[in-house]
Amino acid sequence: MVAEREIGAGIVGFGLGGRVFHAPFLSAVPGLKLVSIMTRQVEEASQAYPRVRISRALDELLADESIELIVISTPNETHFELASLALHAGKHVVIDKPFASTSAEARQLIELAQSQGVHVIPFHNRRWDGDFLTLRKVLAEGALGRVVTIESHFDRFRPTPRENTWKEADDPSHGMLFDLGPHLVDQMLSLYGMPEAITASVRADRDHTEVEDAFDITLHYPGSNGKGLLAHCRSSYLACINGPRFLVHGTNGSFLKYGLDPQEPALVAGGRVPPLGSDEVWLEEKESDWGKLAIAPVPSDSTLLVEKTVRTEPGDYRLFYANVRDAILGKASPAVTAEDGYRVTRLLELARESSLRRCTVKVEA
């Protein structure tokens, strides 16, 4: 067993990802220490973290022996190059989604990490969303019977592209598919593994856009008793009225959940993340956003339904970084593996292929 120690971390990039999703949660996990932030937003980063060194060059972080972990939170197309440099320097690496722009790049990162004896971990933090944790619990309890369909929506309303942002620039790694797609696909993979086939529509729905701004992805699973399961992952920039976050139908009933996990808006609004393990409650969803479960106790009588409200499990992104800490210390395996990053990237590629060919594409093992 590797001895306990404090693990120094450096963040590359201080946009929304570094500022909201990484720095606050790294800082709240005992055993991790935020040592340096590489960014051009020097004043903003210095004000937020006055005791953290602000760097302008990656070389400074890579040369710092007190930094064991590098977190990549930069434009998508830079992930592979920056992660490769960090891995070559013998650092453990967390990569914000997407893990890589192509599955070939993802495979190279995995092999490089293995050769260096370090971890490279995709930041699939939304496995720790409260809504998803609640869905996982509902499914594990088995009240729905045999699940036949799951719909997962993550929508936004942005009919006019934002100006002066890399996210709206023409690049295969930009757009909705590689922005929100990794979250939705990874959640389904964590539940059911790789599907046997995929059917997708990946498109640009807005009047003026340089990126894919909508997708509908269906993952085909064999299910049980010869009956299949369909997992639908959907996202659009033209959702002025949001649909349900999750809608699940099974042979005994249905589960319905509206609303997104409240951690991101809380941080954007200036909320503080308390230390993990303290008595302070980080965040719980308001009761009005809890999901609904409807069950037919007697399947032969569809008019007899039992309905109840399902309390949302507390979401907690601190647990992602607590697992990263434990993986580096040799106390646990990564909850999100590099292979997970590869599989998600490969499925996004196949979704694009399915859309272009307008057909269902088999997923090879």
Please name the residue that has the structure tokens 């790294």.
Answer: 26
pLDDT value of position 169: 86
Question: Cβ(108)–Cβ(83) under 8 Å?
Answer: no
Query: Residue 152 is part of a domain; what is its CATH number?
Result: 3.30.360.10
**Do 227 and 310 belong to one domain?**
yes
**Structure confidence at residue 344 (pLDDT):** 98
Residue 84 has pLDDT above 70, yes or no: yes
* Residue 309 within any structural domain of the chain: yes
Please check the confidence at residue 301 and state whether its pLDDT lies above 90: no
Residue 270 falls inside a structural domain: no
Per cent of the chain over pLDDT 70 is 99
Q: Is residue 92 part of a domain?
A: yes
Query: What is the residue range of 49's domain?
Result: 7-125+319-333
Q: Do 116 and 170 share a structural domain?
A: no
The residue with greater pLDDT, 65 or 41, is 65
CA–CA dist 40, 7 (Å, integer): 24
- Binning pLDDT at 50, 70 and 90, where does residue 184 land? very high
pLDDT exceeds 70 at position 352 = yes
Which helix or strand (DSSP H or E) is residue 227 part of?
strand 227-236
Any alpha helices (H) in the chain, and if so which ranges? 16, 23-27, 42-48, 58-63, 79-88, 103-116, 130-141, 176-179, 181-192, 263-268, 318-328, 338-357
175 and 117 share one domain: no
What average pLDDT does this structure show over 346-359?
Answer: 97
Q: Do the domain assignments include residue 269?
A: no
Residue 268 included in any domain: no
| 209 band by pLDDT with thresholds 50, 70 and 90 | very high
> How confident is residue 346, by pLDDT bands cut at 50, 70 and 90?
very high
Mean pLDDT of 316-334: 97
Q: Mark residue 246 as left, alpha or beta (left: phi above 0; alpha: psi -120 to 50; beta: remaining).
A: beta
CATH of the domain at 19: 3.40.50.720
* The residue to which tokens 């009956």 are assigned: 227
pLDDT for the residue 297: 86
What local confidence, expressed as pLDDT, does residue 303 receive?
80
pLDDT at 83 over 90: yes
Q: How many angstroms separate the CA atoms of 231 and 220, rounded?
A: 7
Q: Are residues 118 and 93 in the same domain?
A: yes
pLDDT at 313 over 50: yes
CA 193 to chain centre: 16
Q: What is the residue-averaged pLDDT of the chain? A: 94
The reply to whether 240 falls in a domain is: yes
Of 78, 112, 75, 76, nearest in space to 92 by CA:
112
Structure tokens at 181: 């797609």
State the total domains in the chain: 2
Q: 365: pLDDT confidence band, cut at 50, 70 and 90?
A: low
Q: What whole-number distance in Å separates Cα of residue 85 and Cα of residue 324?
A: 20
- My answer on whether 57 and 100 are in the same domain is yes
Tell which residue, 337, 54, 342, 307, has the closest CA to residue 182: 342
Residues 20 and 86 in one domain: yes
Q: Is 1 within the bounds of a domain?
A: no
* Same structural domain, 148 and 247: yes
My answer on whether 327 and 307 are in the same domain is no
The reported pLDDT for the residue numbered 3 is 45
Which segment of 168-177, 214-223, 227-236 scores lowest on mean pLDDT?
168-177
Q: Is this structure's pTM higher than 0.75?
A: yes
- Does residue 221 carry a pLDDT above 90? yes
Residue 267 lies in a domain: no
Q: Which range scores top for mean pLDDT: 109-118, 220-229, 297-306?
A: 109-118
Arithmetic mean of pLDDT, 205-231: 91
pLDDT value at position 1?
Answer: 39
The mean pLDDT of 42-61, rounded to a whole number, is 93
First to last CA, the chain: 34
User: In the predicted model, what is the mean pLDDT of residues 75-80?
Assistant: 96
pLDDT at position 71: 98
Mean pLDDT of 59-68: 96
Burial class (CB in 10 A: 0-12, 13-18, 19+), 216: middle
Q: Could you tell me if 344 and 183 are in contact, meaning their C-beta atoms sit under 8 angstroms apart?
A: no
Q: Does position 237 have pLDDT exceeding 60, yes or no? A: yes
Same domain for 167 and 21:
no
Residues 100 and 156 in one domain: no
Is the pLDDT confidence value at 8 over 90? yes
pLDDT (tens digit per residue) in 94-120 = 999 999 999 999 999 999 999 999 999
Is residue 353 domain-shared with residue 227, that is, in the same domain? yes
Nearest CA to 130 out of 263, 247, 251 is that of 263
Looking at the fold, whether 285 and 174 belong to one and the same domain comes out as yes
pLDDT tens column, 252-284: 999 999 999 999 999 999 899 999 999 998 999
